[in-house]
Amino acid sequence: MSVLRLIGGEIISIYRQSLLAIGAGQTRGVASTAFLRHAAKPENEASEDSAAGEEQEQGEADANAAPKQPVDDPKDRTRVIPVETSIRYLASEAYRQTYQDDPVWKQYRRNHKGPYPPKLTRKTCIRKGRISTGNPCPICRDEYLVLDHNNINLLKQFISPQTGEVLSYRVTGLCQKKHTQLLVAVERAMDRGMLTFDVPFREYDYSEYYPAKEGKSSSK
């Protein structure tokens, strides 16, 4: 009986070893098959997979990026408007509907604290390329109004028809920066003969040119 038990134990151990060997062989076969399939994949499929991965990464980067400012931002003043465009704008129907026959500053009202307005207007309405106030001056609020010596129809609106002088910023409401640009544009237009103006009357001391005679001075 002991001999039979020994023989049976050896047979069972051999059977277990054979089962383990078969399982390991199947695992190796599956791994080798997957490797061969991956190696046999065409290059175009591999490139498509890589492109899809790059597109996914790009989409995530765009989603995480900061949102861009809208194109038609009413407070944006970084765009430079040519003076030719401003001249055409003054002759357009849109300008007539907006301002009618009045100067661009006539309907403007300053916002200030208290019953009396400050003597000086604000320094500027535009900071860092954007309107920084809720009530910009007549020139800053309309980006198509360009102060230039060639834009005569716009400059005439800021010149008094009685005296021929430039109206004060207390009347027009222009900020200090735009008022300075207005003065420069008017002077350039006058120097180039684009604006007519009265030559100021000059008084001369004729005693400097015709000295008194000695005889007349002694008789007096």
Q: What is the pLDDT of residue 91?
A: 95
Same domain, residue pair 183 and 87: yes
Q: What percent of the chain has pLDDT over 90?
A: 50
| 108 in any annotated domain | yes
Q: What is the pLDDT of residue 22?
A: 62
| 64 in any annotated domain | no
Backbone dihedral angles phi then psi of residue 156, each to the nearest 5 degrees: -65, -25
- Domains held by the chain: number: 2
Mean pLDDT value of segment 166-183: 96
- Read off the pTM: 0.61
HSE, CB side, 13 Å, CA atoms: give it for residue 105: 21
Q: Which amino acid is at 179?
A: H
Mean pLDDT value of segment 36-42: 52
The confidence band for 129, taking pLDDT boundaries of 50, 70 and 90, is: very high
Q: What is the pLDDT of residue 198?
A: 85
Q: Residue 134 pLDDT > 80, yes or no?
A: yes
Q: Residue 73 pLDDT > 80, yes or no?
A: yes
Range of the domain at 181: 83-191
Q: What is the pLDDT of residue 206?
A: 86
Q: Are 112 and 118 in contact (CB under 8 A)?
A: yes
Q: What is the pLDDT of residue 62?
A: 56
Same domain, residue pair 19 and 88: no
